[in-house]
Structure 1
């Protein structure tokens, strides 16, 4: 039994997400899995049914989380509040989520420890729901008001605008903390008086909320549709969370705060330039891109190296190697026997002291010093490599081309799809006017028994359906037609793509 492709597309119109057809019709989402050298399996045999079922289950779970991020977050928070209010015996645990732990009423400061991880977990949940709420109910209308109506354009605008909203708040608070601290334009103040076992409530709240935000970013890149820069972003978020974890456990929140502020300012300026690009303010975009380059150079190639220099030059005198006790006394490294007995030469045992023994001695030694310095120098090397890419874009701008960020915006072969204001599920291609209306698609006979169907994942943004086809790394699949390895050629034959 065989059927032509165009009637088949109409027959399955109600059961599958459709990509936009440049000719003004809709067709089924196609995923090409050739029998020879299949990109899905890497071998000449089709994927096993068990593996398909496992991937479908994982994809369905991710899709469910994406589509209900606000509901999941609200329900978890309500469950926590109900437990805290109506189960008094559980308050010893629930209060750790709702309040900062280790408060010292004698001096009005807060200590650090494992109970703080509960507070971080709460903010991961809060940001999960808050991000989607702000994007969908505040930023989405703003983007439409600015003339953005394509699905891809709306998604990109909302993602970048959310970064601007969050980073503006976090950077402003971080700058306020630094301005009112002992280390405002005083790099030695980063180290004098270490270890900082107790800090102000606002400083602790800022640090833990930042930590929760970056953990939530790890969740985002894994549950939503994967982009071309998935590996880079995932690595960046892991690196950031690791630095927060280690610096908090080693009582180095001061240097952590200054590094966060150095990095956050760039995450305000660059997304702002992208927003201007999406709004088609080309001149303003290029100007903001120039501001971004200046900001990048000053913060990441001047201020950040100054912090690295301070670690190298100031810590030997401001933080003499030795073991420091909670009462302020110190055993110097020159007292070799006692120093070794206290674990002075250990690395991880000291770095994680706030999580293992928050009242015990904590030791500082040259090995730890050079380990931190080496990690931050590696980060500076990555920043330099990024700057090389930025410089290439700057050269293009000076040559008369518009500024464009080549790192992360390209999502593949997605077509710009207009959003129907009355019915978000109805789409049409913005490139339809560029295609001849009288160019009828060629028909290709396809055996129905050769078709397989799978769910298509959504990235968790309302009304969003991707029209790209990916051979690997995504959860997107629609109709699989064995025996065809050329996506463009096949889509042209059945009328789902521009004729070639």
Structure 2
């Protein structure tokens, strides 16, 4: 406590802090009391004898919530604001535990299936469904479809989850750190994009191979011939079920990753994609399904590669890859994609027979008249050998769903064009479609009274002249007997001696 005055006189503590403007009007008796909190040195009170001007200060509010995040006042008490921790419920805690143990859970489940298959012979008819394709026709060597395919899909979802988490944690993250990425967020983003690059670099060439060896290669009309064929080759089935599992797993991934500002567009896109794959698989339109996947996947090679280059600091290469990404997006998703939609509208109804078919490939009957009602439209999902029908309704269903997916990609493409314009103006390529996070939810705060440490400070410890010399602030005239150097810059002075209370 430092007290300097001509003669010691008793002082009375005012009911509220005295404004700085009132200090200049008081006599020479001035007491400065400082409080040291764990963070800052703060001046709490400027005490003077009661004057008419001090009465005016008592009319001011005793509560101020306009201070810094770590120091606000309420009833003349210094408050500390902290982020309020929300209690985690049982479901949230379980979810966090599952996310933290993705690798162990995934590969332990896979190991359990294989061990059960090896050591429990009676379980083999069931465990075999998880890692082999079902419904093989010994006569043709091809595969039909059915409910047991979901075992293989479930196995692929678990496998992709384990591979994704394992590669991200033990391969991509160490590589990112070795290549100079130190922030955890950048390492995570790099690892996510590297996983997508690996996945699409495998499945896109496989899809191109299947399309190249199909009758529909470079011939849209052939997409609809030889229907209905209720069997597919083993490679086509494995490719289709693997892609189907990946998109189901992607629904989980976008909830695992930090939520981004296009979260709902992404979720809608995933659900539409899954719906189209499900319908094309059960309605035996795998040719057009493979073509759509090939057109979509080429874009998802350039985009993750561009993002990885961005995180590694290769700005020029990133811009080049972003340009290739834009070209591939427009050509594949807006030109060739619309050509497929046009073929659905123009060719499908003329090439495919209208009516319903029943039975398997060895005993196929039809076309028969389409029955009344709606049950026959869901029959392919329930019974692989039941009614399989085609009419204008099927054309409309596929076409409208594909156009809905096109609307989402058009929305994203306009956002991508904005990035291209920024690049042409000298900026950098940064895809706003999916790499920008959404605004975080508004945090809740709790307040607690700070417990200051009081310390006596001698007059010699307050080097106001030294502060004036260093800051270059000129002395201002004062009407009182006390001159405070630099009093014209009150906020700067208070910040210098440790008081960060907001002064209006």
What are the within-5 Å matches in structure 2 for residues 29-108 of structure 1? Answer: 30-31=82-83, 55-108=88-141
Deviation, 1:96, is 1.2
CA contact (8 A) 1:66 1:224 kept: no
| Higher normalized contact order (CA 8 Å, seq sep 6+, divided by chain length) | 1
CA contact (8 A) 2:82 2:447 kept: no
Gapped regions of structure 1 (runs ≥ 5): 8-20, 22-27, 34-51, 333-338, 414-468, 485-498
CA contact (8 A) 1:195 1:251 kept: yes
What are the within-5 Å matches in structure 2 for residues 287-326 of structure 1? Answer: 287-325=320-358, 326=360
Are the structure 2 counterparts of residues 67 and 305 from structure 1 closer, same or farther at C-alpha, using a change threshold of 3 Å? same
What are the within-5 Å matches in structure 2 for residues 42-441 of structure 1? Answer: 55-325=88-358, 326=360, 327-331=363-367, 339-340=369-370, 343=371, 349-353=376-380, 355-411=381-437
Deviation, 1:289, is 1.1
Deviation, 1:193, is 0.7
Distance (Å, rounded) in 1 between the aligned partners of 2:394 and 2:116 = 42
Query: Secondary structure in 2 aligned to 1:263?
Result: helix
Residue of structure 2 equivalent to 1:481: 446
Deviation, 1:128, is 0.8
Note the alpha carbon deviations across 1:12-69, whole angstroms, 9 max, x for none. Answer: xxxxxxxxx9xxxxxx995359xxxxxxxxxxxxxxxxxx76x522221111011100
Deviation, 1:133, is 0.9
Deviation, 1:158, is 0.5
Deviation, 1:274, is 1.0
Are the structure 2 counterparts of residues 82 and 391 from structure 1 closer, same or farther at C-alpha, using a change threshold of 3 Å? same
Distance (Å, rounded) in 2 between the aligned partners of 1:231 and 1:29 = 33
Are the structure 2 counterparts of residues 411 and 5 from structure 1 closer, same or farther at C-alpha, using a change threshold of 3 Å? farther
Distance (Å, rounded) in 2 between the aligned partners of 1:387 and 1:95 = 44
CA RMSD across the alignment: 2.8
Deviation, 1:346, is 5.1
Note the alpha carbon deviations across 1:221-276, whole angstroms, 9 max, x for none. Answer: 22444333332222222222222222111111111111111111111111111111
CA contact (8 A) 2:130 2:151 kept: yes
Match of 1:470 among 441, 444, 450: 441
Are the structure 2 counterparts of residues 117 and 29 from structure 1 closer, same or farther at C-alpha, using a change threshold of 3 Å? farther
Query: Secondary structure in 2 aligned to 1:104?
Result: coil
Are the structure 2 counterparts of residues 389 and 412 from structure 1 closer, same or farther at C-alpha, using a change threshold of 3 Å? closer
CA contact (8 A) 1:323 1:331 kept: yes
Query: Secondary structure in 2 aligned to 1:314?
Result: helix
| TM-score in terms of structure 2 length | 0.70
Are the structure 2 counterparts of residues 346 and 375 from structure 1 closer, same or farther at C-alpha, using a change threshold of 3 Å? farther
CA contact (8 A) 2:357 2:389 kept: yes
Deviation, 1:95, is 1.4
Distance (Å, rounded) in 2 between the aligned partners of 1:236 and 1:170 = 19
Distance (Å, rounded) in 2 between the aligned partners of 1:360 and 1:309 = 29
Residue of structure 1 equivalent to 2:13: none
Distance (Å, rounded) in 2 between the aligned partners of 1:482 and 1:93 = 59
Query: Secondary structure in 1 aligned to 2:188?
Result: helix
| TM-score in terms of structure 1 length | 0.70
Aligned residues: 376
Distance (Å, rounded) in 1 between the aligned partners of 2:293 and 2:119 = 39
CA contact (8 A) 2:130 2:154 kept: yes
Are the structure 2 counterparts of residues 228 and 391 from structure 1 closer, same or farther at C-alpha, using a change threshold of 3 Å? closer
Distance (Å, rounded) in 2 between the aligned partners of 1:271 and 1:373 = 29
Gapped regions of structure 2 (runs ≥ 5): 1-35, 41-69, 71-79, 450-501
Query: Secondary structure in 1 aligned to 2:89?
Result: helix
Deviation, 1:407, is 2.5
Are the structure 2 counterparts of residues 146 and 174 from structure 1 closer, same or farther at C-alpha, using a change threshold of 3 Å? same
Deviation, 1:324, is 2.3
Distance (Å, rounded) in 2 between the aligned partners of 1:223 and 1:296 = 26
